[in-house]
Structure 1
Amino acid sequence: MKHFALLLLGLVSYLIGLGTLVVMLFWLYPWSWMPTTIDSGTPRFPALLAVAVDVGLIALFGLQHSLMVRPGFKRWFERYVPAQAQRSLYTLASAVTLAAILLFWQLLPGTVWDFRGGIGFWAMTLLYFLGWGIAVAATFQIDHFGLFGLTQAWRAFHGIPEPPERFQEKGFYRFVRHPIQAGTLLGLWATPHMSTGHLLFAAAFTLYILIGLHFEEKDLIKTLGKPYIDYRKRVPMLFPLRIIF
C-alpha cells in the first residue's frame, strides 16, 4: 500500500508540475487568444507596491526551489518523508509556488520593446521556442522523469533500489554544463513584446538562476568529485563560447 501511495504521489506531482510549466510558457508569451498573460489585466496597485508583490512571489519560488534541493534540507526531510517521495514533493511544491506567481502577478505599466509585426516578431518567436525547446530536450538527455520524481516513485513501487549518482556527458551537456538553465534564459528574454513586468520577471529569474547555479555547482563537486571538476574546466556553464568563437 505504501509503495502504491508513493507511485500515485509521483504520478500526480508529475502531471501537476508539468502542467503548471506548460501554462507558464503560454502565460509568458503575448498570445492574443490566452485569457490571461503576464501583460493582461489592469493595474491593481501603485507601481512600487506591484513590484514588491511580484518580487516577493519570485523570491518565494526561488527559496522553495533552492532550499528543498540542498543536502542539509534533504537529510532533515528524510526524518519525516521517504527518500523516494522527496523529489515528487519538491515538484509539487514548485508547482504550487509557480502557480502563485501566475495567479497573483501584478501588472506593471510600460513597454521596453515591441516587435509585434514584421521580421522582429518572427525572430523573437523563433528564439522563444528555441530556448524552451532546448530546456525541455535537455531534461530528456539526463532523466526527465527522475527530474520530476516519477522515476523514483516507479522504482519504489517495484522495490528497485536507487542507483548511485554518476557523471554523464551527452547531448547538449557536451557544450554547456547547464543547458536547461541556458534554454530557460533564452526563453525568458526572447519575446516580441518586452513589457516592464516581463522585464522584471526575466531579470529576477535570471538572478535566481545564477545564484542557484552557484550552489548547485558546489553540490555537484561534492557529489561527483574530480570528474565534474575536470568537466568544469572543459565545458562552459551556460553559453557555448568555444563554438561561437
Structure 2
Amino acid sequence: MVALRDYDLGRFGGLWYLRNRTVPGAAEVPEPLVVAGLHRYVRHPLYSAAFLLLWGLVDGPFALATALWASAYFLIGTWFEERKLVRLYGEAYRAYRRRVPAFLPWKGRVETEGSG
C-alpha cells in the first residue's frame, strides 16, 4: 500500500487512458520517473512485495509451483519493463538503475535526484 502512493493510480489502473482516449497523443505522454519514496530502496517495490507474499505463503506443492511460475513471470515482465523505461527516460533511468537494486534493498536508501 505504501508503494502505491508513488504511482499515478489512474494510469496504473487504466482509468487515465479511458478518460483521455479522445485526446490526440495522450497515450504517448509519459508519466514522470519516480525515484522517491520506496523507489530509493528498490526500483520495483510492487514486485518486491509480490515476491514476499508469494514465497511467504508457500505451504505445499501447489503454492510452491505458483510461487515459481509467478516469479518467472515477474522476472520476465521486469526485463520488458526495464527496456521500456530505458526507451522512455534514457540516461536518467540508466543512472537510476546503476544506483538502485531491482528487488532487494541491499544498498539501503539511495539518494537520487528528486528523492529529497
**TM-score, structure 2 as length reference:** 0.80
Shift of 1:190: 0.9
Question: Deviation per CA, 1:73-100, whole angstroms, max 9, x where unpaired?
Answer: xxxxxxxxxxxxxxxxxxxxxxxxxxxx
1:183 paired to 2:49:
yes
1:139·1:147 contact (CA, 8 Å) conserved in 2? Answer: no
Shift of 1:167: 1.8
- Extract unaligned runs of 5+ from structure 1: 1-135
The residue aligned with 1:147 is 12
Shift of 1:214: 1.3
| CA RMSD after TM alignment | 2.2
Structure 2 CA distance, aligned partners of 1:146 and 1:235?
24
Distance 1:184 1:230, change over 3 A: same
Give 4+ residue runs of structure 1 displaced > 6 Å after superposition: none
Q: Aligned partner of 2:37: which letter?
A: G
Greater Rg by CA: 1
The residue aligned with 1:205 is 70
The residue aligned with 2:114 is none
Shift of 1:160: 8.6
Identity %: 29
Structure 1 CA distance, aligned partners of 2:108 and 2:40?
11
Shift of 1:243: 2.1
Q: What SS does structure 2 have at the residue aligned with 1:198?
A: helix
**TM-score, structure 1 as length reference:** 0.40
Structure 2 CA distance, aligned partners of 1:239 and 1:213?
14
Q: Aligned partner of 1:146: which letter?
A: R
Q: Aligned partner of 2:94: which letter?
A: I
